[in-house]
Amino acid sequence: MHFLELQLHNNLLKAISELGYTEPTLIQEKVIPLVLEGKDVIGSAQTGTGKTAAFALPILQGLLESGHVVKRGKKIAAIVLSPTRELAVQIDEAFKSYAKHTNITSAVVYGGMSIEPQKDILKKGVDVLVATPGRLLDLYKQECFDPTFIETLVIDEADMMMDMGFIDDVQKIEKICPEEKQTLFFSATMPQKVVGLSNMILKSPESVDVSPRSSVAKSVEQLLYYVPKAKKMELCLHILRNTVKGNIIIFRRTKFGVEKLEKSLLKNGYQVASIHGDKSQGARDRVLSDFKAGRLRALVATDVAARGLDIPSLEQVINFELPYNAEDYVHRIGRTGRAGKAGLAISLVSAKE
Ligand code: AMP
């Protein structure tokens, strides 16, 4: 797709081309038309996908089309909420670069610095205001801006916003804005609490998801045992004794954990070996060929060591601890249930995890 197909104003196209953008990114291709139609949008997208332009360009386009800039004077027409000062500054810079050949202005306000210069900026008037939530509310309480003309509210990095405890502030800001507005909501991840927030503030939104897809074959059954840390070893032995027939990998987070588990299993009479980052390539290769040849019942491994290993399809994967991130989880359990065969992934999860 070319930017021309998105029907953007020539002065925006000029700025985009000067920035060296030749075609829209996926999120831009999907989100820009929806925003131009006036829809509320939920976008699952991480930084780096081009999401800033995905909301900034159609906001600028809307302002150019409606001619509101001229009619209402310099009253805020769009607010962009960002969780951190750094991100807020970046978003403001992006707006400025896209609006370079227009008369639309933007500004950024954030906490942790003197409020007076920010008041002066607002007094002069801007069209687009990028802000961190707390400072924006302070400025509102001090009557430094008039929210009457706000047409668009963007909530960026909603998941981070919630993690940083801004949920109440975001809700307050949403209420300050006029009822009739467009809301655009972006989040890198969509945990339940973020979905809850979006349900509260968006009206029949369109969803756009460009988050990286990692998925697990449907043939993998996933079991989770809630178990105190101290009881994990016992449960692991029970599983080995009672359920596993074929070969199995047990994952742990640390090299230390891997070695400890290997020792305990050996002591209990199991033929196991381990692979982790401190083992030489030769040692890892030997372990792997023993495992493939069926001379070992189980392999104990860290995520890093197991990455890229050509391990045949496994009957079971046990996560002695959950990995630190979702990608690793998907990676681990993808080693079972291959080629349509049934697989089983068991996670032993303590309260702390
Ligand atoms: P963002 O995800 O909004 O933080 O953008 C990530 C980076 O991609 C920024 O440096 C943008 O300037 C750049 N960018 C955004 N859209 C495009 C595009 N269509 N073509 C090339 N670069 C882009």
Ligand 1 atom showing the smallest separation from residue 21 Cα:
20
Ligand 1 pocket by Cβ (under 6 Å): 21, 24-25, 28, 47-53
- The C-alpha atoms of residue 13 and residue 58 are separated, in whole angstroms, by 12
SS3 236: helix
- pLDDT score recorded for residue 285: 82
Average pLDDT over residues 245-268: 92
Q: Strand pairing partners for 131?
A: 81, 109
Distance separating alpha carbons of residues 23 and 5, to the nearest angstrom: 10
Q: Using one digit for the tens of pLDDT, what is the confidence trace for 172-194?
A: 999 999 999 999 999 988 888 89
Percentage of the residues of the chain whose pLDDT score is greater than 90? 65
Instruction: Provide the residue count of the chain.
Output: 353
pLDDT category of residue 281 using cuts at 50, 70 and 90: confident
CA of 106 to the centre of ligand 1 (A): 19
| Residue 270 Cα distances to 159, 206, 237, 258, 301, angstroms | 44, 54, 10, 15, 15
Do 105 and 78 form a contact (C-beta atoms < 8 A)? Answer: no
Whether residue 228 has pLDDT greater than 80? yes
Residue from 86, 19, 18, 99 nearest 58 by CA: 99
Q: Please report the pLDDT score of residue 280 as a whole number.
A: 80
CA 80 to chain centre: 18
Which candidate, 119, 28, 102, places its Cα nearest to that of 68? Answer: 102
Q: Which mutation among 2, 4, 52, 154 tests ligand 1's pocket best, with the greatest number of atoms within 8 A of CB?
A: 52
Please say if the pLDDT value at position 302 is more than 70. yes
Band (pLDDT 50/70/90 cuts) for residue 238 is very high
Q: Which two tokens stand for residue 18?
A: 């000067």
Identify the band that residue 196 occupies on the pLDDT scale cut at 50, 70 and 90.
Answer: very high
Q: What is the pLDDT of residue 158?
A: 95
Taking residue 100's Cβ as centre, other Cβ atoms within 10 Å add up to 15
Closest ligand 1 atom to 48 CA? 2
What is the predicted pLDDT for the residue at 310? 62
Residue 213's pLDDT band, with cuts at 50, 70 and 90, is low
pLDDT digits 0-9 by tens, 47-86: 788 999 999 999 999 999 987 666 667 789 999 999 999 8
Scanning 272-320, the segments in alpha helix (DSSP H) are 281-292, 303-306
- Residue 214 reports pLDDT greater than 60: no
**Whose structure tokens read 């070969």?**
247
Is 255 within 8 Å of 302 (Cβ atoms)? Answer: yes
